[in-house]
Chain A
């Protein structure tokens, strides 16, 4: 079974530029998550989708971050404009459908903002 796929794996941009990350979850997984992991910390949820609807985006900085999952499968996370403090690893995860299901994580995208 293929795991969660993410691209790109690494991205370096200058502040005020824009960037987009892509995630393809495990086939059949209805729930998709984007987490942000700052160096030295545990991952923190940015947004959770159930199929193509947003369940929780309370910790998403909506003035600069946006995410979509139009067809209920793959998803994109965008930052525009980027700030220095956005330097982090962005992790995508997926699970079948409910809170008690195991979440599986992709390899992450490491973003460096200069």
Chain B
């Protein structure tokens, strides 16, 4: 099946700093989503982005499908950005399951 690798596994920032999270995948995808899992375990949709670039406030994401990677940018980080960020992909067929990476644990200190 498709492989998803996320980097870095852990990231510690001071409030106000910027960061870039990376997701590499091993096959072509027709669905790629970025999630933020908050300390209570809720998976919150950030972006649906199988290709192209999107922005939502301080967050933006870019997926270069031909090179099989996606980037999540967080600018002016806040303590509420802390949590685990997951990239998840689907490579097509009748099965719509998302295959998740292992996540990036982000800690933003005040």
Contact = CB atoms under 8 A, between A and B. Distances in A.
22 contacts: A31-B96, A42-B86, A42-B100, A42-B102, A43-B86, A43-B88, A45-B97, A55-B94, A55-B95, A95-B96, A98-B96, A99-B90, A99-B93, A103-B31, A103-B33, A104-B45, A105-B35, A105-B42, A105-B43, A105-B45, A108-B41, A108-B42
A105 B37 CA distance: 10
Interface of B: 4, 30-31, 33, 35, 40-43, 45, 48, 50, 86, 88, 90, 92-98, 100-103
Nearest to B100: A42
Given A43-B88, A101-B96, 7 more contacts: A33-B97, A42-B88, A56-B95, A99-B95, A103-B33, A104-B45, A105-B43
A105 B45 CA distance: 8
A87 to B, nearest CB: 14
A107 B41 contact: yes
Contact of A48 (B31, B50, B96, B103): B96
Nearest to A89: B41
